[in-house]
Structure 1
Amino acid sequence: MGEAAPLTPAPAVRVQGFGKRYRRQAAVAGVDLEVRRGEIYGLIGPDGAGKSSLMKAVAGVLAFEEGSIEMFGIRIDSEAAAERVKGRLGFMPQGLGLNLYPELSVEENIDFFARLRGVPAAEIAARKAKLLAMTRLDRFTGRPMKHLSGGMKQKLGLVCTLIHEPELIVLDEPTTGVDPVSRRDFWAILAELLREKGITALISTAYMDEAERFHRLSLMHGGRVLASGEPDAIRARTPGSVVELEAEPQVEALDRIQASLAQAESVGPRLRVFVDDAAPEAAVGTVAGLLKGLSLRDLHATTPDLEDAFVALLRRQRLVEERVVAKPRAGDGDPPGDDVAILAKDLTRDFDGFRAVDRASFTVHQGDIFGLVGANGAGKTTLIKMLTGILPPSDGEGRVAGADMHFAAQAIKARIGYTSQAFSLYQDLSVLENLRLYARIYGVARHAAGERIEQVAELTGLTGRERQLAGRLPLGIRQRLALACALVHRPRILFLDEPTSGVDPIGRRRFWDILVHLARVEQVAILITTHYMSEAEHCDRLALMHAGRIVADDPPAALKQALREEAGELLEVATDRPLAAMALLEQAGFAGVALFGRHIHLFARDAHTATREIQTILAGRGIGLASVTPRPPSLEDVFVYRITALEQGEQRL
């Protein structure tokens, strides 16, 4: 990078042949990696990939059976060796606020960790003030940790990890379950620490869209490393092109493509297809040839992202199961009937003077996939509880599946399916036993239950697994069992609360294949909450919630276009000294400046004018400019821009 601490023969971390077993089960095997000083190194992979075991071993809190770990040139093979480096290390375990004390306030938690880490009393105040300002927690110093949002807990955990100014920080999934604004804040903090302190970071995540932010990374699956290196180098290992298009009818187009190409998915109104080993023009020709006779719009090639590369790697190493979505069969699903599945009008819910949901209004039609996104504490869960009949509204009205929310809570519960993030399965029952139990709970007639169970098992790819215990299923399969249980009574509406958290990209794509089938073929209305902004792209419409209010309700494409009109074009700046360049561009007043690995993202009203201005600014400080490239904005960009603007407006009041 040209700005990090000088490289030395001893990297910050060197792992060789690492292996960890739990009883007879190998959690991690044969892992090699090297973290250079002054870089942000990522471990990417789903739950069960082995990330946490490796992170804990590096942090010195987990014994291991195979291989070796060195930190700053010191082999960690005894308690004495670990003691020699612990003052140079900061570790933040997985879980919201897991390293904090819930009854203590923000300031009391920081003071406790400062004393525990031996920070000189004369330095605590200055360090605390700096970190509180950086994390925007300075207005909440007296608030008990237990009353913080998920994002605030994670930022406080980071402050407590950094208070003794470690050279290396080990952060295990610090952004899981955290809203996109807090995630963006988190990465901004790391960029500032890298710029000011030259800190080294080893960070794990299940979010593939965060992979671009790492200098280098390792993709993990099943306890092994599939690939390591810079993001562009990993992409190069799976040559091919992505083709995007809109096609009518969409279901037929997707069936045709998936019959010939292994990596294709529906993303809202678009189809997204990865064509192996094909140049862009050839890939477009291949897809167009498969769809002869159908109506095609906006057919074009684009650059594969890291998730495309990860999925391709899994496929090529035969680490994925066969596609599972069943073909539609006559009679599947209830007829849509009333086109309006959910109608909310000024729904409001108060708790002891606190307004959790404030006059929320929206409509969901049968066959729609409707996304509900918002920061932790925005009111999403309360809104869902009102819609599902669990909580009565304080004010407003609504109809769900044709029933009035005020008077027909039981009727609503019988007509909807619900899958929570925790998956309400019986771990010691088999797949078939879980399905039979839910069929009885939902009142499915005995003579119809067997056929319906067979249908949902086929739809969700559980055929052949009926006798396996739910508790022993991989996370992605367990998730599909929870969905099958929610579908066994043929609901007209499906509520899904962050159903794919921690699931690998293949599992998420399989899950979305099923949801698209349910919506497009069986006309089931789906309301889903998610923190994966890439996943939110699949929705037909998105409602963005902030402080209990719905502040936007539009298709993803319309939200992105509104961002372009308001903020300008998103530009990616490549330079030989990104940290120094980032500081200069922030000082120059560019909007949305953020570090993405070795590149900088920002917004500009006019790309041509901005490029000349950037070149002038950087040249004046002797910083080389490699390129300025327009990029399509993501839904994360939309979310962060809108919520940040609202928060800033509230602070000015």
Structure 2
Amino acid sequence: MGETPLVNENPVIKIQGFCKSYKKQAAVKGVDLSVERGEIYGLIGPDGSGKSSLMKAIAGVLSFEQGELEVFGIKVDSESSAERIKGRLGFMPQGLGLNLYGDLSVEENIDFFAQLRQVTPAQLAERKQKLLKITRLDKFRDRPMKNLSGGMKQKLGLVCTLIHGPELVVLDEPTTGVDPVSRGDFWAILAELLREQGVTALVSTAYMDEAARFHRLSLMYDGRILAAGEPEFICRQAQGSLVELSAEPQIQALDQLKNHYAQVEAIGSRLRVFVDDKSPNEASKAVSDLLVGVEVKAIRASEAELEDAFIALLRRRRLADQKTNNHAVPRLDPPLPEGQGIAIEARQLTRDFGQFRAVDRIDFTVRQGEIFGLLGANGAGKTTAIKMLTGIVPPTAGEGQVAGADMRYAGQTIKERIGYMSQAFSLYLDLTVLENIHLYARIYGVSRSIIKQRIAWVIDIAGLADVTGQLTGSLPMGIRQRLALGCALAHQPGVLFLDEPTSGVDPVGRRRFWDILVRLARVEQVAILVTTHYMSEAEHCDHLALMYAGRIIADDSPTNMIRALQQEAGQLLKIATDRPLEALALLKQADFKGAALFGKHIHLLALDIETVKKQIDALLDKQAIRLIDLTVHAPTLEDVFVYRVLALENQELS
């Protein structure tokens, strides 16, 4: 079997002029798409961009009004033609575990889907054993699906989708709501299926950082394809450079840059600027020359990354407005007590649910003006920790202070001084956007004399002016999340709790969201505690605490966490070969731990770079695999997370 998609054969999926509408609302507007045999093809775009409609039609479960759609060379234009392809593909819909049965165990769900797909007992035994092992669900065969974490539900859903051995898998946002370790498992499964069986995969996601995993992809927005091709090709379409710098005072530098550039964001202590139509050297000089009265501590420029390219394409086609207003409004909440500047403190905080310990003696502090991240997998205890600190759930043991008040005895005082955006969507779906904001402003005690001004401010900062009269239940997820943040800010609290706030939010919405948070922290000195398992969110934090099984296993700044991983496990090697799947199998057989496929490249961590380079070169040479390129990069926060969690899992198993 060849390593690259067999472009000389008929494509597995061929679409021309595809259109789909719901009543008078056009969801997909004239899409052309071709997916070759044996490739992992990505659809990337925000909620409402048309990804799900397109994938449902490909899977044969949704009709469409216009265009042509072929799957396996069969024209899908009727129920009978759709039935002809369904046995050869697997479809996993969007949503955690939506294709599963909550009261059935892991094994019972798999057996049920195998019966539906008429899998023989011999095939079932072999496939089930292999898929359970690779997903690391083999130890949870008897656990009811409803008691699994989000990541485990998604992996079980994938096993059930694959159990009949499909030639094509159509996976709609399978990694949304899933932690990095489970995401790694998911991609490892696809790489294995691609290598062994030549399976073709069409995968959608709202997360740009997954783009490197695809052979080719299409960027979708508002029902159309903005750009298509290999990730590197799309990045080049941006025609500009990315400049990263550290400068003090940060907000002053941020404001100066925003006056001249449309794409600027603060991520932790760094600023990132996209400069149109300039080479990296030209862009770096232009940014340096622009900054006046600030100290530039470090600056570097590089080619555009995919998220920057996506936003640049939207901006140039006038499809996205990056403008953010930050109107000052008098604060309502009383100032935090004088002292050490500590806004949140947890001391040996513990919570048991029966025999299960969800949070195990955690300690951390959050200072005023700090963005603090609780980073952890699904079920790590992040949400329980927040619920204890906000007075929703009493602790089993330990102490905590929030906004100068003891969390055990001052529940109402704490509630008046904090804003809380929960993981579960907490607004009223049958109220309009404006009605929800008004309701929360009144609940939080905003006085009648300024309530109109405050509501206008919330609408402005959250970018809700165009949807104030719409029912909340009809809004896309990204807009709902901005509304939830706006409601949590209605009384301008001194401490803000955000529980996985941007899950499923598109890049433009996420940047607007974080621009608000950065100003709240830097300008108004609001303390912000964010729980997340998304690395793009973690990078915005000044300080991180990594949680695993209810415990804090690392507590430091993102920079120091990455530095510690470099000292312990080394640098990140990015390896390009002419046969990446065979090369990956060889590296795994040679015990290169953590080797993983990213599109057409292989990533792994290595301490002794030169020795590892020689070992890899010799290993590939024996099998006549050509090493095209090997580059060295600093590891990412995702590498930190996966390395630390897998090390603990392996330690517990040994």
Rate the CA distance shift 1:623–1:614 in 2: closer, same or farther, 3 A. Answer: same
Q: Write out aligned runs for 1:420-459 (5 A).
A: 420-459=422-461
State how far apart, in whole Å, the 2-side matches of 1:21 and 1:311 are: 26
- In the aligned structure 2, how far is the partner of 1:100 from the partner of 1:469? 30
Which aligned pairs between 1:526-537 and structure 2 lie closer than 5 A?
526-537=528-539
Shift of 1:557: 0.5
C-alpha root-mean-square deviation of aligned residues, in Å?
A: 1.8
Among candidates 559, 568, 571, match of residue 570 of structure 2: 568
Shift of 1:490: 2.2
Q: Distance in 1 between matches of 2:465 and 2:123?
A: 62
Cα distance in 1 for partners of 2:24, 2:484 equals 28
Distance 1:473 1:148 in 2: 29
Aligned-pair distance for 1:460?
3.2
CA apart distance, 1:461: 3.7
Partner of 1:90: 90
Aligned to 1:435, what secondary structure does the other structure show?
Answer: helix
Residue type of the partner of 2:354? Answer: D
CA distance in 1, matches of 2:358, 2:156: 24
Structure 1, residues 8-61: CA drift from partner, whole Å, max 9, x if none? 531111111111111111111101111100000000011111111111110011
Give the CA deviation at 1:133: 1.1
CA apart distance, 1:193: 0.8
Note the C-alpha offset of 1:302.
Answer: 2.5
Q: Post-superposition shift, 1:336?
A: 5.0
122-131 vs 542-551, greater mean Cα deviation: 122-131
User: Given the two structures, how large is their TM-score scaled by the length of structure 2?
Assistant: 0.96
Equivalent residue number for residue 516 of structure 1: 518
d(CA) in 2 for partners of 1:237 and 1:333?
Answer: 47
**Helix, strand or coil: the match of 2:540?**
coil
Q: Which amino acid aligns with 2:605?
A: F
Displacement after TM superposition at 1:137 (Å): 1.1
Structure 1 CA distance for aligned equivalents of residues 68 and 191 of structure 2: 30
1-side partners of 2:47 and 2:134: how far apart?
30
> Which residue does the alignment assign to 1:139?
139
What's the counterpart of residue 645 of structure 2? 643
Q: Which amino acid aligns with 1:584?
A: L
Is contact 1:37-1:200 (8 Å) kept? yes
Matches within 5 A, 1:471-490: 471=473, 473=475, 475-490=477-492
Amino acid at match of 2:41: Y
2:252 & 2:336 partners in 1: Cα distance? 20
Partner of 2:15: 15
Amino acid across the alignment from 1:223: G
Q: Is 1:186–2:182 an aligned residue pair? A: no
Distance change >3 Å, CA 342–CA 227, structure 1 → 2: same
Q: Indicate how the Cα distance of structure 1 residues 256 and 37 shifts in structure 2: closer, same or farther if over 3 A, else same.
A: same
Q: 3-state SS of the aligned residue for 1:447?
A: coil
CA change 1:423–1:148 in 2 (3 A) is: closer
Q: Please give the alpha-carbon distance, in whole angstroms, between the structure 2 residues aligned to 1:363 and 1:178.
A: 27
> Are 1:344 and 2:362 counterparts?
no
Equivalent in the alignment of 2:291: 291
The answer for unaligned runs of 5 or more in structure 1 is none
The CA deviation string for residues 488-514 of structure 1, in whole angstroms up to 9 with x for no partner, is 222111111122111110110000000
Larger CA deviation: 248-257 vs 471-480: 471-480
Inter-partner Cα distance in structure 2 for 1:5 and 1:539: 40
Distance 1:442 1:620, change over 3 A: same
Instruction: Verify the 8 A CA contact 1:336 1:523 in the aligned structure 2.
Output: no
Give 1:230's aligned residue.
230
Structure 1 residue identity aligned to 2:394: P
- Deviation (angstroms), 1:470: 4.1
Q: Which residue of 1 aligns with 2:598?
A: 596
Is the Cα contact below 8 Å between 1:325 and 1:513 reproduced in 2?
Answer: no
Correspondence 1:198 to 2:208: no
> What is the match of residue 31 of structure 1?
31
Matched residue SS, 2:449: helix
2:633 to 631, 634, 638: 631
Question: For residues 175 and 606 of structure 1, do their structure 2 counterparts lie closer, same or farther at Cα, with a shift above 3 Å needed?
Answer: same
State the alpha-carbon separation in 2 of the partners of residues 317 and 544 from structure 1: 40
CA contact (8 A) 1:325 1:460 kept: no
Q: CA deviation at 1:84?
A: 2.1
Q: Secondary structure at the residue paired with 1:139? A: helix
Contact 1:334 1:522 in 2 (8 A): no
Q: 1:614 to 1:497 in 2, by over 3 A?
A: same
The correspondence of residues 399-414 of structure 1 with structure 2, limited to 5 A, is 399-414=401-416
Q: 1:466 to 1:165 in 2, by over 3 A?
A: closer
2: CA distance between counterparts of 1:120 and 1:619? Answer: 41
Q: 1:39 to 1:413 in 2, by over 3 A?
A: same
Letter of the 2:393 counterpart: L
More moved, 447-456 vs 290-299: 447-456
TM-score, structure 1 as length reference: 0.97
Which letter does structure 2 place at the counterpart of 1:257? L
CA distance 1:574–1:464, change in 2 (3 Å): closer
Once residues 477 and 124 of structure 2 are traced to their aligned partners in structure 1, the CA distance between those partners, rounded to angstroms, is 43
Give a deviation string over 1:135-182, Cα, whole Å, max 9, x none: 111111111111111111111111111111111011111111011110
Tell me, yes or no, if structure 1 residue 361 matches structure 2 residue 363. yes
Deviation at residue 232 of structure 1 after TM alignment: 0.8
Cα pair 2:336 2:404 within 8 Å, conserved: no
What is residue 115 of structure 2 aligned with on the other side? 115
Amino acid at match of 2:565: L
CA distance in 1, matches of 2:252, 2:5: 55
Q: How do residues 189-268 of structure 1 correspond to structure 2 at under 5 angstroms? A: 189-268=189-268
Q: Distance in 2 between matches of 1:551 and 1:613?
A: 33
Q: Residue type matched to 1:247 in 2?
A: A
Is the CA contact 2:171–2:201 (under 8 Å) kept in the aligned structure 1?
A: yes
Specify whether residues 398 and 185 from structure 1 end up closer, same or farther in structure 2 by C-alpha distance, changes over 3 A only. same
Q: Is the CA contact 2:262–2:322 (under 8 Å) kept in the aligned structure 1? A: no
Give the paired residue count: 652
Q: For each residue in 1:249-268, what CA deviation from the matched residue of structure 2 results, as whole angstroms up to 9, or x when unmatched?
A: 10010000011001110000
Deviation at 1:331, TM superposition (A): 6.7
Structure 1 Cα separation of the partners of residues 497 and 408 of structure 2: 19
Higher mean C-alpha deviation, range 531-540 or range 467-476: 467-476
8 Å Cα contact 1:333-1:523 kept in structure 2: no
Aligned to 1:169: 169
- Structure 1 window deviating more from structure 2 (103-112 vs 170-179): it is 103-112
47-56 or 115-124, which deviates more: 115-124
In 2, Cα distance between the equivalents of 1:429 and 1:58? Answer: 35
Unaligned runs of 5+ in 2: none
Closer/same/farther in 2, CA of residues 116 and 435 from structure 1, 3 Å limit: closer
